[in-house]
Chain A
Amino acid sequence: METFAEGKSGIALFVPESYDIIWSSVVLIVVAIFFYKFFLPKFQAIFDERAAKIEGGMAKAEKAQADADAAKKKYEDQLNTARVDAAKIRDDARTEASHIIADARTKAESDAAQITANAQKSIESQQQQALVSLKGEVGALATALAGKILGSKLSDSDVQSSMIDSMIDGIDKDNAGKAK
């Protein structure tokens, strides 16, 4: 230390000069006013504003989220309703279709029955006609045949007709017997 303290006494370091007191005080007052009145309030305002903005932003985001959730729920509800509606419509359509099919079937069946009945009737009448015409022809044929077999004996018309009648009676009786 002796080397260092050559010029002035080391004690001088710890004895404040009057100008040192003044300039230290001036500097401290100026700096303190700067920090108290300008620098820190300015940054505090910035910090507060930023915090408010962040909180506002978060509230906004929450609201947006809620809105989105509500919209999603709404659309999902609509979708569900639509789905139910569609199912209902499909069921209705299916029921209607089965109705239509059943109706068509009934109608077709009745038509078919009617056609069958008509056909039956027509067949019966045609059979009757055929029978009648057959009766005539068979009579003529048999007469001719019998005439040829019996020759002149049967040329007398009285005999002829009585013979046909008795023969047809016989056929009728046969038929009646068969029908029974």
Chain B
Amino acid sequence: MAGVAALTGAAGVVLAAQSGPEIPSIDEFLPPEIIFAGTPFAMNRIIMVRLIMTVVMLVVLGITASRAKLIPGRWQGFVEWGIEYVRDKIVYEVMGELRGKRYVPMISTIFFTIFFFNLCGIIPGMNIAATATIMMPLIFALWTFVQYWIAACREQGLLSYLKQECTPPGVPFPVLILLVPMQLIDILIIRPASLTLRLLANMIAGHLIVALCFSATQFFLIIAENKLMMGAGVVTLAFGFIMTLFEAFVAYLQAFIFATLSSVYINMSYPEVD
């Protein structure tokens, strides 16, 4: 991150010196409405990307599923590996098979959708994650939120759940005065908010860094007259390349974290077994 700061600083200096590279800003995440503007069905660039990616995902996975054979080919094997990865390494790993079975479709939906949407950030032509507006992460977080409250009411009753979460055994009474509000805030606000913000912030930050690198490269190599800046351009290009690969990893990592934390929160709604 220090490198990023240095780069940003360098870019700032360049900006001051001459007309400078185009610095990406949060405006890119608040793009103008381009279709059905002013209606509740208005679409901006990010929503277009999201809808296109949804269609692509449904078509690709749909064709894979409808052509699925008993003896899988390479692509089917890869998709099956993904399904089994989510099931075994995320859901069953956290909740165990008995509890987890019910939640496999939910967590799979969350994982695959977030992963595909995150990947939009490095797909040329889209160049922005479909999860990079507040609502998309938030709606996944709300789904998790609803599910863990439902699980709590179903498995042990609301009061028992609140007691389990807010008053851990062995905590002396004075501490509870602090602890109970904190825990209530945690299960009511912090959990969904942290899920939402973690994903959103990762996507925004990743896009800004990659965009900054390539914008700087564009400026150094093509627009700038000074040949000495070519070297800086090569560095920013290499860094942009590395960050693009890193964003691919982050796309997976954030999907994994979101899916795992959803499983964990739902699992915490179940009564503790000694």
Q: Do A and B come from one complex?
A: yes
Residues of A at the B interface (CB closer than 8 Å) are: 3-8, 10, 12-25, 27-28, 30-32, 34-36, 38-40, 42-43, 46-47, 49-50, 53
With CB as the reference atom, state the residue of chain A lying closest to B79.
Answer: A43
Chain A residues within 8 Å of B204, by CB: 13
How far in angstroms is the closest Cβ of chain A from B198?
Answer: 13
Measured CA separation A43–B79 after assembly (Å): 10
A18→B58 contact, CB < 8 A: no
Chain B interface size band reads 35 or more
A10→B26 contact, CB < 8 A: yes
How far in angstroms is the closest Cβ of chain B from A84?
Answer: 51
- Tell me whether A22 and B65 are in contact in the complex, defined as CB-CB below 8 angstroms, given that A3-B12, A3-B25, A43-B83 are known contacts: no
B105→A42 contact, CB < 8 A: no
Interface segment out of the listed B27-35, B151-159, B227-235, B240-248: B27-35
B17: CB under 8 A from chain A?
no
Measured CA separation A12–B42 after assembly (Å): 17
Partner of A43, one of B29, B33, B80: B80
- What are 7 sample pairs from A and B whose C-beta atoms fall under 8 A apart? A7-B30, A8-B30, A17-B133, A19-B43, A24-B50, A28-B143, A38-B62
B109→A36 contact, CB < 8 A: yes
- Tell me whether A7 and B108 are in contact in the complex, defined as CB-CB below 8 angstroms, given that A16-B138, A42-B65 are known contacts: no
Binding site of A, secondary structure by majority: helix, strand, loop or mixed?
helix
Chain B residues within 8 Å of A47, by CB: 80
Chain B residues within 8 Å of A23, by CB: 41, 43, 47, 50-51, 135
- Tell me whether A3 and B23 are in contact in the complex, defined as CB-CB below 8 angstroms, given that A19-B39, A42-B68, A43-B80 are known contacts: yes
B92: CB under 8 A from chain A?
no
- Tell me whether A40 and B135 are in contact in the complex, defined as CB-CB below 8 angstroms, given that A22-B41, A23-B51 are known contacts: no
B40: CB under 8 A from chain A?
yes
Measured CA separation A23–B134 after assembly (Å): 12
Kindly count the residue-residue contacts between A and B in the assembled complex, taking CB atoms under 8 Å apart. 122
How far in angstroms is the closest Cβ of chain A from B54?
Answer: 5
Residues 136-153 of B at the A interface (beta carbon under 8 Å): 136, 138-140, 143
Measured CA separation A24–B134 after assembly (Å): 10
Measured CA separation A18–B208 after assembly (Å): 25
- Tell me whether A40 and B105 are in contact in the complex, defined as CB-CB below 8 angstroms, given that A19-B41, A28-B143, A49-B70 are known contacts: yes
B104→A24 contact, CB < 8 A: no
A30→B58 contact, CB < 8 A: yes
**Interface bits B97-137 vs A (CB < 8 Å: 1, else 0):** 00000001110110011000000000000000000011110
How far in angstroms is the closest Cβ of chain B from A128?
Answer: 113
Chain A residues within 8 Å of B44, by CB: 19
Partner of A24, one of B24, B40, B83, B139: B139
B26→A5 contact, CB < 8 A: yes
Measured CA separation A15–B12 after assembly (Å): 29
Most buried by B among A5, A7, A28: A28
Chain B residues within 8 Å of A28, by CB: 113, 139-140, 143
Chain B residues within 8 Å of A30, by CB: 54, 58
- Tell me whether A36 and B25 are in contact in the complex, defined as CB-CB below 8 angstroms, given that A13-B134, A49-B70 are known contacts: no
Measured CA separation A43–B65 after assembly (Å): 7
How far in angstroms is the closest Cβ of chain A from B117?
Answer: 9
With CB as the reference atom, state the residue of chain B lying closest to A18.
Answer: B40
Task: List 20 additional contacts besides A23-B135, A43-B83; criterion CB under 8 Å.
Answer: A3-B25, A4-B208, A6-B27, A7-B27, A8-B27, A8-B30, A12-B30, A17-B135, A19-B41, A20-B135, A22-B41, A23-B51, A24-B139, A27-B51, A27-B54, A27-B113, A27-B136, A28-B139, A38-B62, A49-B70
B57: CB under 8 A from chain A?
yes
B12→A16 contact, CB < 8 A: no
Chain B residues within 8 Å of A24, by CB: 50, 133, 135-136, 138-139
How far in angstroms is the closest Cβ of chain B from A120?
Answer: 101
